Amino acid sequence: MKTTLPAPSEVIGAFEETYREQSERFTGDEPAWQPVHTVYVPADQVSADTVDAWGRTATELLHEHLFSPGELPPLCGLDPDLAAPVHERVRRKLRIEPVEDLRIDFEDGYGRRPDAEEDRHVESAAAAVAAMARAGTLPRRWGLRVKSFADGDPVRSVRTLDGFLTEVVAQVGSLPAGFTVTFPKVLMEAYLGQFAACLETLEGALGLPERTLRFEIQVEAPQTVAFLLRSPDLVRSLKGRLAAAHFGVFDYTASCGLPPHEQRLDHPVCDHAREVMRVAFAGTGVELSDGSLAAHPASDRTEDVRALWARHAALVAHSLSNGFYQGWDMHPSHLVSRYAAVYAFHLANYEEYCARVEAWEQRRDAGGGVMDEPATIRSLMAALRRADHALSL
């Protein structure tokens, strides 16, 4: 082949340096296992029985208000053909693994307490975790949410984390796998580096392996969204300690001035914030999570329980359709609608996705007028991996 340029590499210039920076900044988005939810429980309410109690309560609600699979489709727009397998999966999940991710809350769900009282709850929460670890009931992902540095008292935040980890390691003999800490209300970008430094120091003092202590930030203020957009090197600057970004719907919508009745997960303001999160963390390996529904059944009546499930399932479906595969659950009733919506979402297109990938690999037409692009095939394969993770029991 004839060419004109004698030495293309000289024209390209500093490619190697740029490519190395790309590799360091964008480590990839290969879907690994990610919990479908995070369950938040105030620190003073956590016990060794918390996970089992949530599972029992959710199971009782399911049996009392949604015993028949045929009653499921109207609640979450489910194909009637999937009602039986989804219902059975929900029932089994509540029995085998009701909670995938537990976060012990020392922030908004706990409130401001005297130091001595919070210290006591740090000890009792650590004892609960140690008991669950010994019993084999500690969820695959677990941790705590500390108070925000934005509250003006970072010492209380770090003291709680230090005391909690010190107690857990002392009682268990090591730090159980799956730990993460939630860092809320990040109004100033500098707080992230300060908190990461605390984790590094605490990690060394406890004799833990490097980068055992990782954290997730909560995106719950316009100020956070603003610095995410202007800080392309944020993830790399935190040296592998940033594990996830979780959206905080109520603080965010309040910060945006929305009236209380519009502070909802599917508001366009929230869609915008989540899209900024997606753009800011694309390709970095940082997990994304949506927020919560702050409601429980208005009464024990079936119509009220089902109304709550329908609303929650619709919000979960909204998150899933927008590529947010995790959210927060704040009440045991949410487990039923969470798992029903998640299973319905992943099962609805599973066979079609498999067929399209198989057709591509065999270099034949997928049928139905579909013309898949390589990027679409990658997304189909990623969707199947996420489905496999979510559907496994």
Residue-wise pLDDT for 162-202, tens only, equals 999 999 999 999 999 999 999 999 999 999 999 999 999 99
**The model's pTM:** 0.94
What are the tens digits of pLDDT across the range 203-213?
999 999 999 99
How far, in Å, CA of 268 to CA of 274, rounded?
Answer: 10
Strands across the sheet with 37-42, in order?
287-289, 242-247, 215-219, 179-183, 141-145, 101-105, 37-42, 327-329
pLDDT of residue 336: 98
pLDDT of residue 188: 95
Give the chain's largest Cα–Cα span: 80
Q: Is the predicted pLDDT of residue 265 greater than 90, yes or no? A: yes
The domain spanning residue 172 has which CATH number? Answer: 3.20.20.360
pLDDT of residue 1: 86
Residue with the bigger pLDDT between 145 and 29: it is 145
What are the tens digits of pLDDT across the range 322-346?
999 999 999 999 999 999 999 999 9
One domain for residues 146 and 73: yes
Q: What is the mean pLDDT of residues 214-226?
A: 96
One domain for residues 273 and 354: no
One domain for residues 344 and 362: no
One domain for residues 379 and 391: yes
With a pLDDT cut of 70, the percent of the chain lying above it is 100
Task: For strands 327-329 and 179-183, give the pairing.
Answer: unpaired
Range of the domain at 268: 30-348
Q: How many domains does the chain have?
A: 2
pLDDT of residue 244: 97
One domain for residues 43 and 165: yes
Q: Is the predicted pLDDT of residue 124 greater than 90, yes or no? A: yes
Question: Does residue 174 sit within a domain?
Answer: yes
Long-range contacts of 299-307 (CB under 8 A, 24+ apart): 302/64, 302/65, 305/61, 305/64, 305/65, 305/333, 306/65, 306/66, 306/75
One domain for residues 256 and 359: no
One domain for residues 330 and 257: yes
Last-in-domain residue among 348, 364, 382: 348
pLDDT of residue 364: 82
- For all residues of the chain together, what is the average pLDDT? 94
Q: Is the predicted pLDDT of residue 393 greater than 80, yes or no? A: no
Q: Is the predicted pLDDT of residue 319 greater than 90, yes or no? A: yes
Write out the E strands in 111-252.
141-145, 179-183, 215-219, 242-247
pLDDT of residue 24: 82
Residue 145's DSSP bridge partners are 105, 182
Question: Does residue 164 sit within a domain?
Answer: yes
Question: Does residue 322 sit within a domain?
Answer: yes
CA-based nearest residue to 239, from 198, 272, 211: 211
Q: If you average pLDDT over each of 113-117, 233-237, 372-376, which comes out highest?
A: 113-117
Q: Is the predicted pLDDT of residue 28 greater than 80, yes or no? A: no
One domain for residues 60 and 131: yes
One domain for residues 195 and 183: yes
Question: Does residue 161 sit within a domain?
Answer: yes
Question: Does residue 124 sit within a domain?
Answer: yes
One domain for residues 188 and 326: yes
Burial readout 365-379 (b: 16 or more C-beta within 10 A, e: otherwise): ebeeeeeeeeeebee
One domain for residues 365 and 241: no
Whether 77 and 348 have beta carbons less than 8 Å apart is answered as no
SS3 326: coil
What are the tens digits of pLDDT across the range 42-99?
999 999 999 999 999 999 999 999 999 999 988 888 889 999 999 999 999 999 999 9
Phi and psi at 218, nearest 5°, equal -105, 125
Count the residues in the chain.
Answer: 393
pLDDT of residue 361: 85
Question: Does residue 5 sit within a domain?
Answer: no
Q: Which amino acid is at 81?
A: D
Q: What is the mean pLDDT of residues 293-307?
A: 96
Question: Does residue 181 sit within a domain?
Answer: yes
How far, in Å, CA of 361 to CA of 363, rounded?
Answer: 5
Question: Does residue 271 sit within a domain?
Answer: yes
One domain for residues 211 and 359: no
CA-based nearest residue to 386, from 241, 287, 278: 287
